[in-house]
Chains A and B, each alone.
Chain A
Amino acid sequence: KAGVTQTPRYLIKTRGQQVTLSCSPISGHRSVSWYQQTPGQGLQFLFEYFSETQRNKGNFPGRFSGRQFSNSRSEMNVSTLELGDSALYLCASSHQASGANVLTFGAGSRLTVL
């Protein structure tokens, strides 16, 4: 079965622009989580969505937002980009009903802000 798919894989933006990243979870998975990975801060939780509702949010400014669609696909948006937003953004899905809550990660979207 197909894994977690993230698009685009790489993108370059300039300060002040905004960006939208997309994540398609594993078929049947209804929970999608987003993480930011940087060399300095490591993996930090951004937010989690389940059935189109944000269930949890990490400690990021309001410039970071997300949503989930009825087909469980999720997008995250970062507005007014700053140099420090350069990172690998990872999406992970899980099958909540299983109770195992094991996250399966995508390959990530690498964002470079110039």
Chain B
Amino acid sequence: AQRVTQPEKLLSVFKGAPVELKCNYSYSGSPELFWYVQYSRQRLQLLLRHISRESIKGFTADLNKGETSFHLKKPFAQEEDSAMYYCALRGGSARQLTFGSGTQLTVLP
């Protein structure tokens, strides 16, 4: 079975401060990991995926297989980063994404 845990339901940081949204997963094989974001009154959209190893809007995420984590990081948070962030996993032959419960990030001015 595959499982995604986002331990923080709510996270607040000040503008310009670093931010880290935690994501831990449970899966015995090699998973595909994703971060999706939902801004206020907008649809859920892909932020980044681990296979791309890219930085989007200043965010990065590294897959740590030893710690089974895929934390999302940004060195300097901006107010426009305020949104709901979901970590998601797809493993093996399973075609569906398993989502975490989400973290609501608020960047304070």
A55 at the interface (CB under 8 A from B): yes
Contact of A42 among B45, B94, B96, B100 (CB under 8 A): B100
Q: Which size bracket describes the interface of A in this complex? A: 20 to 34
A42, closest chain B residue (CB): B101
**1/0 per position for B82-109, CB-CB distance to A under 8 A?**
0000100010001111111110000000
> How many A-B pairs with Cβ below 8 Å?
42
Q: Cβ of B98: which chain A residues have Cβ within 8 Å of it?
A: 45
B32 at the interface (CB under 8 A from A): yes
Give the distance in Å from the alpha carbon of A48 to the alpha carbon of B86 in the complex.
20
Decide if B99 touches A103 in the complex (CB within 8 Å).
Answer: no
Decide if B96 touches A48 in the complex (CB within 8 Å).
Answer: yes
A106 at the interface (CB under 8 A from B): yes
User: Smallest Cβ distance from A13 to chain B, in angstroms?
Assistant: 23
A103, closest chain B residue (CB): B97
Q: Which residues of chain A from 34 to 57 have a CB within 8 Å of any chain B CB?
A: 35, 42-45, 48, 55-56
A58 at the interface (CB under 8 A from B): yes
Residues of B within 8 A of A (CB): 32, 34, 43-46, 49, 86, 90, 94-102
